[in-house]
Chains A and B, each alone.
Chain A
Amino acid sequence: MKELRDFLEAIHSTYEPEGERLNLNNKRFAIRPEVRVHIYDKSRLVYAGKLLGRTKGEFIPSAPLLRELGRLNGPNKIWVDDKVGWLFVCGRDIFEDSIKRSEGAFNEGSYFLVMIEDDCLGYGKVETSNGRKMLKNIIDLGDFLRRERGSEQDSR
């Protein structure tokens, strides 16, 4: 899973998920042996074990992976307050002056996890816009609500 390794390197993490790796279309899973034995028919399989992420050109980490990375020492992280965090999960970017504290050098091109207290809300990439440094939103947990609305519309 080169794309996972590249993502982990980008946020300066050395995390190694437990379990066998499984690729299913664009989804990447880690699966324990006692769950793996219940894969009877891969052609009908839609989900298995722990979702690590999806590949859509680049690797998009899953919520469980973000959660685990948020608990580790080592990855680049920024902390924000509830208000900025809520704007982030609504898809907005984070300007440098809204950051309460950070771990890792906030340099252009670097990737950072976005935290409120001990919870990881997503991650982004440092960019500069009109001379202001900001974290450009790549993925955030609000994606669940957007997907739920999307699937409601799909099923109508």
Chain B
Amino acid sequence: MVKSPPAEKRPMGAGFFLDRYRQMGHELSGDERSHQAIRVNTLRTSKNELVRRLDSRGFRLTDIPWLRDGLYVDGGESSAGASFEYLLGLYSMQEAASQSPAEILAPKSNDVVLDMCAAPGGKTTQIAAWMGNHGAIIAVDIRRDRLYALENNLERMGVENCVAYVGEVAKMDYNGTLFDGILLDAPCSGNYVTDRSWFNKRSLADVKNNAAKQRELLGAAVDLLKSGGNLVYTTCSLEPEEDELNVQWLLDNHVIKLKEIEGPGSPALTDVLGTVLNPEVAKCRRFWPEETGTQGFFVAKVVKP
């Protein structure tokens, strides 16, 4: 006889999670979907030039007003992921919310940046574009199988300022390097907008397990950050254990400050299902799918004094 998993590890279903979101002030249907988006690779072309080229292939492109290099895309004579321009590395397929962390990090051209959970490399190539292929990016991921996609992206997009490693990012020896900027796009529970079977897979135990791993990574990130350096912490989870509660943990356990994030979405929650958090947490940003037309997303910007 097959043993069923303990109740806390069983998928909780749509009702449970939608009810949680309702308690956080958001009526969601569970059917929200994000608009297809691309990111212009400014290492290879300009937004105007790319729009001209894709327009001639029947794609309809619209600026994403809160992103420097993002465009919504509709139509086209082929899939947006299979055009000459895609193969030539003039753009990448990148969901709108997931373009925001690198923009919020806003690395400078000669920075040394650590991308902590880098594969498949969409944000790594975006960071390289912000840096104009100058400075250096150290990209690390624990999964070799996912790093093949990162290698492909680095090659296709023409990135020349990156070294990529396979390994446990918190345990690697960086030869004493402290970083000007760190992106921690943490492995998370994900969200239902990009995964139609999400509600039938996830439990609160998954969420708490991921949150614990994220705290380990957050602690390591702060240790690796230069004084005055910026850390951007992001998840594509709507679950507060992985978002606001982790930021509260960071405030309680490390000497850091939060920077206010402006732009789309809502200020992060400071009352999470009855738990009152430090008001500073509201400086972080939450992307609720019904408000932003994106997947669920969370971003925090941390500075080390």
Q: Which residues of A contact B (CB under 8 A)?
A: 32, 34-35, 37-41, 44-51, 62-64, 67, 82, 85-86, 89, 116, 119, 121, 141-142, 144-145, 147-148, 151, 154-155
* B136 pairs with A38, CB closer than 8 A: yes
Chain A residues positioned under 8 Å from B112 (CB to CB): 38
B149 CB–A CB distance under 8 Å: yes
CA distance A55 to B200 in the complex (A): 45
Chain A residues positioned under 8 Å from B154 (CB to CB): 47, 51
* B158 pairs with A63, CB closer than 8 A: yes
> Nearest 6 CB-CB pairs, A to B?
A141-B87, A47-B164, A50-B160, A44-B165, A151-B148, A48-B163
Chain A residues positioned under 8 Å from B136 (CB to CB): 34-35, 37-38
Instruction: Please tell me the number of chain B residues within 8 Å of chain A, measured between CB atoms.
Output: 38
Residues A151 and B152 in contact in the complex (CB < 8 Å), given A44-B167, A46-B165, A63-B158: yes
B186 CB–A CB distance under 8 Å: no
Residues A116 and B84 in contact in the complex (CB < 8 Å), given A46-B165, A48-B164: yes
* Nearest CB in chain A: distance from B288 CB, A: 30
CA distance A45 to B163 in the complex (A): 7
Chain B residues positioned under 8 Å from A47 (CB to CB): 139, 147, 150-151, 154, 162-164
* A40 pairs with B160, CB closer than 8 A: no
Closest to B173 in A: A40
Q: Which of A32, A50, A145, A155 contacts B87 (CB 8 A)?
A: A145
Chain B residues positioned under 8 Å from A35 (CB to CB): 136, 160-163
Chain B residues positioned under 8 Å from A48 (CB to CB): 162-164
CA distance A48 to B89 in the complex (A): 18
A-facing residues in B133-176 (Cβ within 8 Å): 134-136, 138-139, 144-152, 154-156, 158, 160-167, 172-175
CA distance A47 to B138 in the complex (A): 10
* A119 pairs with B163, CB closer than 8 A: no
* Nearest CB in chain A: distance from B294 CB, A: 23
* Nearest CB in chain A: distance from B146 CB, A: 7
Q: Which of B81, B88, B146, B158 contacts A141 (CB 8 A)?
A: B88
